[in-house]
Amino acid sequence: MTDSGTLKVAMPKGRIYKQASKLFRQAGLPIPEDFDDSRKLIIPVPEANMEFIMAKPVDVPTYVEYGVADIGIVGKDVLMEENKDVYELLDLGIAKCRMSVIGLPDWKPVIHPRVATKYANVASQYFREQGQQVEVIKLNGSIELAPLIGLADRIVDMVETGQTLKENGLVEMETLFQVTSRLIANRVSYRLKNSAIQELCDRLGAIIGAPV
């Protein structure tokens, strides 16, 4: 957080960034195109009185909660998993996908159910609400492998098109929730830099047609 009025924005590197930066440009914020492929971690955009912090997506809520970034863009999946104390201001409607339970087509209930996932908190909570006690196995990537090689009987993961699942002979069994990217804000910044944040919300809201 700074007093100078510069808004520090934590941007997720990778998949969401392209769509988010496009949205910002549509909203009239002059983010040069060549930043999209830049390897710099901190990108000042003085014309917009902003500074972009390029972060690993899962870390965005942490930066915002501590106030080292005023606002941030992050997927609902990460917000649900990380459970940080931040304002969730706007559904940007980009990077659409869903959080689902996935398994082999011939899945049958097993005695000791095991669920592999990157989203251990989300998965634990979901199965508890379903009244099922499962062993949650935290993995960091290629989650689809788990049911194929017998590490787990089901997985919880994000599904965008379903292509990866199809290619690996897996099926979606249930959907936990829909995922889109969200604009989040730090508790203090939301008060102290309210006009700048509200203006950004309004501009983005006008582009995506959401009421703010």
Partner 1 sequence: MTKPKVFEKPTGVKDYLPHAVAKLRRIERSVLECMRLWGYEQIITPALEYYDTVGMASSTSDQKLFKLLDRRGTSIVLRSDMTAPIARVVGSLLKDEAFPIRLSYHGNVFRAFEEEGGRDSEFYQTGVELVGDASPEADAEMIALAVASLKAAGVPAFKIAMGHVGFLNGLFEETLPGLVGEQETLKACLLQRDHVGYRDAIRKLSLDAAWKRELEDILRLRGGQEVCAQALELSSNEGARAAIRHLCDVWDVLEAYGIQEHVLIDLTMIGDFSYYTGMTFEGYASHLGFPVCSGGRYDNLLSQFGRPAHATGFALKTTRILEVVEDAAEERERTLVAYEGPQRQAALAKANRLREQGEIVVTALVSASELEELRASHQEGHASGSGISYRGRTYEKLVSFEDGKDDLA
Q: Which is nearer to partner 1, 96 or 166 (CB)?
A: 96
d(CA 69, CA 53): 8
Q: Which is nearer to partner 1, 67 or 113 (CB)?
A: 67
Q: Which residues bind partner 1 (CB under 8 A)?
A: 1-3, 62, 65-68, 84-91, 182, 186-189, 191-192, 194, 198, 210-212
Q: Which is nearer to partner 1, 7 or 155 (CB)?
A: 7
- Min dist. Cβ of residue 90 to partner 1 (A): 7
Residue with tokens 């955009």: 45
* Tokens matching residue 43: 């990108």
Q: What's the chain's Rg over C-alpha atoms?
A: 19
Residue-by-residue DSSP string for 26-48: HTT----GGGGG---SEEEEGGG
d(CA 205, CA 186): 19
* Tokens matching residue 164: 């990866």
Q: Which is nearer to partner 1, 7 or 102 (CB)?
A: 7
- Min dist. Cβ of residue 156 to partner 1 (A): 21
In sequence order, which residues have a C-beta less than 8 Å from that of residue 174 and are 6 or more positions away? Answer: 100, 101
- Min dist. Cβ of residue 56 to partner 1 (A): 16
- Min dist. Cβ of residue 66 to partner 1 (A): 5
